[in-house]
A and B are shown apart, each in its own frame.
Chain A
Amino acid sequence: MLPSQLRTDQFREYPPAGRQLAVSNLSLLRQLTLIYLASLLREMIRYDWKFPAERGQIDRQLAWLASLDPQELHSLFAGFAQIRLDRKLEDTDWVKMPDDFSERLTAYLWSTHQIDALRSAATEFTERASRATPAPSPAQARLGIVVIGRSVEQSSFPLFRKLRPYGVHFTRVDPTDGLEMLLHAVAARASARPIPYDHWYIEGSTPVAAPPHVSISSYDQLQPVRSRLLDRMQQVIDSGSGGPELLEVTMATIDPQQLGMKGEGRDGVLDHFDVSLLTQGQGTQIFSTTFVMWAAREALRRAEPVTLMARFTPRQRLRPMNELMQSRSHDVEPDPQGSLLDADMAAYYIWLDQQRLADSAQASFLVWFEGHNEALAIAPGLPRGTESASPGNLQQILEWIS
């Protein structure tokens, strides 16, 4: 089926808001190229569970596309239109199952050596779309906080090497009440501007606080969900049908309720977000450090928050082969030193993700080696690539960068 043949009734299984969005834009959707349209439908089918920032982005893009005449649309999608598609792909039910289409498309484009053409077309489209529909400036300058190294008593590893060129490396930080100061700063920002999903606290173990108006995602709190998910994955694998692609599609379509996230007072948007971390992020199911890294990345990319605090805690140790052979015990001890290295790199990635958001030049960032004297801060008013041996605490650093 081709996009021009789209009908209203084909969206009947979409959740209400997504269905409404698709139906009200049907004439536009019929004019789009299949590759782009399928990626748009992947967003629309999840529209009901998207954050306000994501919804705004989709709405702006649709309004912009609707404002273009057919010739402009043709020019905009020329890169996508040049990609040759297999008839089998066109015949899949890409309206009902856009994720399945996407998996097949990716495999097809790699196998026909067209993945670079897609990359090029997507990059060009994204640049034009970003120029035409810029994200609004945040209500306040963004602040990212990353806490790494819990349970590490000593480390000779040179921390923050990738971030040092961009900020000040503090070497005499008083760690007393450091975590409380950081959480207090998050709570204060949330309290001052209580906008849903604008303030986040991502935790590698159990949250040490639950400030009002702060969205919380925690590795430990999701433990029952992770267990159920791993069981479901094992069922798919044991069924012997499909393969990695089937597993990926199955994972992408799991509903939070299927994993036991039921009951009054739950935040459905946040539940869907948490499940997506576990179903679409690799390693998030087994390593808390990966969970925090991916959760922070996804929160920044999707919710575009103004405040985000991510705290890394030790992940489980990966047992070497000889140890696996000698013991079938599932008890595993933590790996604080390895987790410190993981988190150090992840902090750099979180900063990069924050820098991709609107008004990044005004954003501030702080990473602290928990319980120790080392921190690094990046902010518009701070010098770059410098070291400070001045004594101070995290509260003071927060004041300097805010």
Chain B
Amino acid sequence: MLSFAPLQALAVPRGQKVIVVTFGGGARDEETFAPEGQENIPCLMNELIPRSTFFTQVVNRGILGHYVATASLATGVYESFDNFAMVPPSNPTVFEYYRKGLHRPATDAWVVAPSNGFNRMGASDSKLYGPSQGAGVILPKHLLAAALKQEDAGGYTHLLRDNYETPFYTPQISGNPFQLAQLEQVLRVSVVDFVAHARNLASPDELSVFVVKQLMKQLAPSLLWVTLHDMDIAHSGAYSLYMEGIRRTDRLCGELWKTAEAEPEYAGRTTMFILPDFGRDADGDPGGNGFQHHRTGDALSRTTWMMVLGPHVRENVSVNRPVQSLDLVPTLGGLLGFTPTMARGQALTEVL
């Protein structure tokens, strides 16, 4: 059945593939688009921004925890659950609106995310929608740990240390995780090949991008959400590792766009949104410790940017009016043709 998924995807009118990339977790303007930060993002600066409409002020007024903030991006409502609790969003997600509104199959919406906590972000607990209308969620690192465990009973739990906000705390996964057995069925990768490939990758985000590419090849979903997270190593206080994470994320964004341009199912019909989930604390705020955390809720930690690329999107355009991170879902609704009834925010007409 699954092998026919690309044909199903072809039923969607042309120009309606969407990839959302969260450039996370947590990047400050200072290390990205501010003049002193631009050297860290050569790919975004030189290759992608000239082809994009760029929103220079995207404000996030919600909770600045990665899972809850990313879930808020996906629901279009500022979710208010405990960031460290493994609960689904309270409001319908973009995946549910999309699948239910357009009668799309389960194979047409996917989330690829780094951390156990994101396991529940594919669907809300809304009675009108819920998991049967949600996205498939793949946590590549979790998958890798399971594969390694199968290969060797030894402990690779350190690979799961992905929650940099509480670096020693690795919660047990709950919900309905993507199973190891589905690797071959869905991604068409054997466990052995998956592990072998992972052995050549330097970071969890690289593994996520590998999984995304496989999904694009095998299922060609029309709505694909990838959450990058390497740079959240900033919580450890090592500035060089945070910068390394930003540079890697920059490169991976470029790779994703190139893949979208090269894959027949995506070429010429894909709109890609790239945005941080939020920023990090300002150097000058005595309540924080600069880049290390995102605890103060100051303006720098709440204000980021968004880049939109696609065949119908105006190139090399900057939008300087402030917009909200909640505007993403209504914009996706306008683009894909569904109505996000419970989402707040406004569709961004500049890219519709």
Contacts and interface: CB of A to CB of B under 8 A. Distances in A.
B296 interface: yes
B202 interface: yes
A283 B202 contact: no
B31 to A, nearest CB: 10
B320 interface: no
A243 to B, nearest CB: 6
A335 B199 CA distance: 22
A115 B289 contact: no
A349 B82 CA distance: 31
Interface stretch (A92-100, A188-196, A317-325): A317-325
B84 A324 contact: no
Nearest to B235: A282
A243 B171 contact: yes
A42 to B, nearest CB: 15
B47 interface: no
Contact of A244 (B81, B84, B287): B84
Contacts of A111: 63, 80-82
Interface in A227-271: 230, 233-234, 237, 243-245, 247-248
A282 B297 CA distance: 18
Using C-beta atoms within 8 Å of the partner chain, give the interface range for chain A.
35 or more
B240 A339 contact: yes
B237 A290 contact: yes
Contacts of A234: 168
Nearest to A122: B287
B198 A112 contact: no
B257 interface: no
Contacts, number: 132
Contacts of A324: 156, 158-159
B159 A325 contact: yes
A259 to B, nearest CB: 16
B233 A318 contact: yes
Contacts of A115: 63, 297
Given A297-B289, A326-B199, A287 B63 contact: no
Contacts of A247: 166, 168-169
| Interface size of B as a range | 35 or more
A282 B293 contact: yes
Interface in A139-180: 161-162
A233 B159 contact: no
Interface string A117-130: 00100100000000
Interface in B171-216: 171, 195, 198-204, 206-207
Nearest to B244: A338
Given A113-B80, A243-B84, A282-B292, A293 B202 contact: no
Interface in A347-371: 348-349, 352, 356
Contacts of A110: 63-65, 80, 83
Contact of B148 (A281, A290, A325, A335): A325
Interface of B: 36, 61-65, 78, 80-85, 148, 154-156, 158-159, 165-171, 195, 198-204, 206-207, 233, 235-241, 243-244, 283-284, 286-287, 289-293, 296-298
5 contacts: A113-B62, A237-B169, A247-B169, A322-B199, A324-B156
Interface of A: 107, 110-113, 115-116, 119, 122, 161-162, 230, 233-234, 237, 243-245, 247-248, 281-284, 286-287, 289-290, 293-294, 297, 315, 318, 320-322, 324-326, 328, 335, 337-342, 344-346, 348-349, 352, 356
